[in-house]
Amino acid sequence: MSEEAYFGLDDDKKILERVYIDYRQQMYAVAYGVLHNNVDAEDAVYQSFLRIADNIDKLKQFSRQEILPYIVIIVRNASIQIYNHNKRELAILDDIDDGQFDVQAKPADDEFFEKIESQNLAMVLSKLPQMYKDIIYLKFSCDLKAKEIAPILGISADGVWKRLERAKRLIREALEGDEPDE
């Protein structure tokens, strides 16, 4: 199959069946890796399929290489939500302030990032916490809007913007620390 015709189907139900057949084992493995419980992992996969079904039009636009990372992010976040629910944790990741972020820091602007070499940026991105990698991937690689990312991650659109801004700030700080003085 060619990349463009991976799904090659018009029926959303058949696309979901294809996703299930192709990715169910990887989805379960990701969920079980977070939850360490068969029942909860199955629930996470089920919830992930509901989110995928809600975003089926976006899924149709992805190439074969883009689908698995997209699905992994959805499953990981569904699993984390189940884990947090099971532990009765009421704090939401967006509201956690662990003191790493300086409120007085310079705003992250796109001009700064345009000047950075891709190798340096890739190294910094690899060191980011997973929740920021997910936001960066969904926003810039999958070209999703905040309102499209929010249901995938199970957070508000404002939460998406907060995480994106924090990720940019962390990237800026890391890259500015590596830049030679001019």
Contact 159, 150 (CB under 8 A): yes
**pLDDT the model gives residue 102:** 42
3-state helix, strand, coil in the chain (%, to 5): 70, 0, 30
**pLDDT the model gives residue 177:** 75
**pLDDT the model gives residue 8:** 62
We find that the CATH architecture of domain 93-178 is Orthogonal Bundle (1.10)
**pLDDT the model gives residue 138:** 87
Contact 77, 16 (CB under 8 A): no
Residue ranges of domains in the chain:
12-86, 93-178
**Could you give the CA distance from residue 19 to residue 49 in angstroms, rounded to a whole number?**
9
**pLDDT the model gives residue 180:** 44
The helix (run of H) or strand (run of E) holding residue 127 is helix 118-127
Give 10-residue mean pLDDT values along the chain (182 residues). 52 88 94 90 94 89 88 93 69 39 45 61 84 87 86 88 91 72 41
Give CATH for domain 12-86. Answer: 1.10.1740
pTM (predicted TM-score): 0.58
**pLDDT the model gives residue 7:** 60
